Amino acid sequence: MITASNIFAEALDIVDIYDSADVAYMPASLFAVTSSLRCPESTMTVRIKDAQLQPNAFDCGPYAMAFATALAH
């Protein structure tokens, strides 16, 4: 699970990804995230933000919720 947001982005065509797992992203995965945001632009910039890493392979959900909560506040 990840948190994707454009809350602190400078423009509507920028999305920030917060992920607690240190993984490489496939283009198809990034397309799925960006297409769900319904950006009015034809292209979108994806930025992978520095985020706290989880110490195991199963806590991605709580970390994604914590990132989203922090952004909302």
31-67 per-position pLDDT tens digit: 777 777 766 556 788 899 999 999 998 999 999 999 9
Quote the pLDDT of residue 42. 67
Distance (Å, whole) CA 50 – CA 43: 23
Q: What is the pTM of this model?
A: 0.81
Domain of 25 in residue numbering reads as 3-72
Structure tokens at 21: 């797992």
Count the domains in the chain.
Answer: 1
- The predicted-structure confidence for 6-36, as pLDDT tens digits, reads as follows 888 888 888 899 999 888 887 887 777 777 7
pLDDT at position 67, please? 94
Those residues with Cβ within 8 angstroms of residue 41's Cβ, 6 or more apart along the chain or in another chain: 12, 13
CA separation, residue 29 to residues 1, 26, 32, 72, 73 (Å): 12, 5, 5, 24, 27
